[in-house]
Amino acid sequence: MSTQKVAAITGASRGIGAGLVTAYRKLGYAVVANARSIAPSDDPMVLTVAGDIAAPGVGTRVIQAGLGAFGRIDTLINNAGVFVAKPFTEYTEADFDLVTGVNLRGFFEISQQAITAMLTQGGGHVVNISTSLVDHANSDVPSALASLTKGGLGAVTKSLAIEYASRGIRVNTVAPGIIRTPMHPVDTHEFLAAMHPVGRMGDISDIVDAIVYLETAGFVTGETVHVDGGQSAGH
């Protein structure tokens, strides 16, 4: 079996996901990068696999492509996610299907496949990306579907961490505050910054650094690391 370590990353074409591809390459990992649309990489150690992670079969295809190219999967980062903020009674069936599809089904199939691979090679690491809103509900940001789905990821993180603790597989979650990415127009930044006790938005590097820490923290599993400028502590 190859000794080259391999990370699979969803939502890898921009924002935090793109930052993670760069960070894991710097750590010496080969990377399997998935997004709905993602161009081939010039780097032979980055395999891009296009596909909607919410669609049946895509999670399996991503992991199988990684195993075919690199022979193993050491880390899976479930970074793909969608966020729809609406009053609860205004969510539509389509909103529900979209958010649960990406945030839950998008976690489920690829994680099953990755953990299966990790079991055969004797260990691995799964990192889920959540949101501070799970622990810090905010009347200015009605987001029940985010809490329903990402809260589920927080719960399953503990469940899987314990299920696989004796078999060398760690499972952790990072719960970001609001991160400065292309998703947020510049004219909203001042308002968004004020939603954090430290008075600023997070940077992509804040989240990437937390995940790199977890990668090397062999004694940490079942943990949710809040990288949210103090939001989960209070306001």
Per-residue H/E/C for 20-54: HHHHHHHCCCEEEEEECCCCCCCCCCEEEEECCCC
Does a structural domain hold residue 192?
yes
The CATH number covering residue 149 comes to 3.40.50.720
Domain membership of residue 233 (yes or no) is: no
pTM score: 0.96
Calpha distance 111→33 (Å, rounded): 15
Please give the backbone phi and psi of residue 88, each rounded to the nearest 5 degrees, phi first. -55, -40
Whether residue 176 is contained in a domain is answered as yes
For residue 234, is it within any domain? no
| Residue 91 located in a structural domain | yes
**Number of compact structural domains in the chain:** 1
Q: Domain for residue 121, yes or no?
A: yes
Q: Which residues of the chain have pLDDT under 50?
A: none
Q: Is residue 83 part of a domain?
A: yes
The CB density around residue 41, as the number of other CB atoms within 10 Å, is: 15
Q: Which domain holds residue 71?
A: 6-224
**Residue 109 neighbours by CB under 8 Å, 6+ apart:** 56, 57, 58, 59, 60
Has residue 1 been placed in a domain? no
Q: Alpha helix locations (H) across 30-182? A: 58-70, 93-100, 106-121, 144-163
Report pLDDT for 142: 86
